[in-house]
Structure 1
Amino acid sequence: MEAFSNYDLLDVITGRKVAEGHKASFCLEDTSCDPGVRRRFACTAHTQGLGPGCYDTYNANIDCQWIDVTDVPPGNYILKVTVNPAMQVQESDFSNNIVKCDIRYTGSYVHARNCRITGS
């Protein structure tokens, strides 16, 4: 799958995209689950998926886990993360696939706050 998640950095005033990234996917599996929830899917067993209450978690140092902000000036932005943007993975509910966070970029670091599930 070419893009399992899209990461868009938007100008807080205009909503214009100023930078972007994406997460390619080759396997979905339950790498961790909420307490009391049993893992159901693992790539090694050739049964891909994400069970309710489980997560496919990646370390930050894996490629395609970031947005290149080299040419982005310091300021306030919105990070928009869209999971399963082309709806290629079957889900019981697509309404919770977009999260937006308020971002303050200083030129040296990023502070995220007010993350919320949105419809668009």
Structure 2
Amino acid sequence: MEVFAHYDIMDAEGNRLAEGSKASFCLEDTVCDPGVVPQYNCRGYAEQGLSVNCSDNYMYDIDCQWIDITDIKPGDYTFLLEVNPSLLVAESDFGNNVVSCQLNYNGYFAFLKNCHYESLLEYRKPIKMG
């Protein structure tokens, strides 16, 4: 999938200042919470998927896994993440597919805080191109 997840950084007026996306070629249980046994592993072309309480983690150095913030000035922003935005992957519940966080960028580091989940099916905030 060209877009498994979509990221936006927005200013206080709702203008999109930067965006990025996460491509996906294999969904698997990379990291699971303690006590959770991974079920999906793409090695050997096994069945793809994500188990409850597991994640498919990609590092920042893999292309299409980051947002270019070169032109963003230090300040406070909103960070939005939509997972499976086109509903291409079957899920039992889309209730936690949007994450909204406060983002503080100090010119050297970006910090996220006060994150909360929303339903992908209910969340469709209009975004203005900045």
TM range (shorter): over 0.9
1:26 equivalent in structure 2: 25
Structure 2 stretches lacking a partner, 5+ long: 124-130
1:115 equivalent in structure 2: 115
Identity across the alignment (%): 50
The code of the aligned residue for 2:103 comes to I
1:104 equivalent in structure 2: 104
Q: Is the 8 A contact 2:9 2:16 kept in 1?
A: yes
Pick which of 89-98 and 59-68 moved more. 59-68
Kindly tell me the number of residue pairs found equivalent between the two proteins. 119
Return the offset for 1:65.
Answer: 1.8
1:74 equivalent in structure 2: 74
The code of the aligned residue for 2:37 comes to R
The code of the aligned residue for 1:118 comes to E
2:41 equivalent in structure 1: 42
Following the alignment from structure 1 to structure 2, what is the Cα–Cα distance between the partners of residues 37 and 43? 18
What per-residue deviation string (whole Å, max 9, x for no partner) do you get for residues 35-67 of structure 1?
222111111142100111211112222222211
Tell me which stretches of 4 or more aligned residues in structure 1 moved more than 2 Å: none
Following the alignment from structure 2 to structure 1, what is the Cα–Cα distance between the partners of residues 14 and 95? 21
Structure 1 stretches lacking a partner, 5+ long: none
Return the offset for 1:91.
Answer: 0.2
Return the offset for 1:111.
Answer: 1.7
Return the offset for 1:97.
Answer: 0.2
The code of the aligned residue for 1:18 comes to L
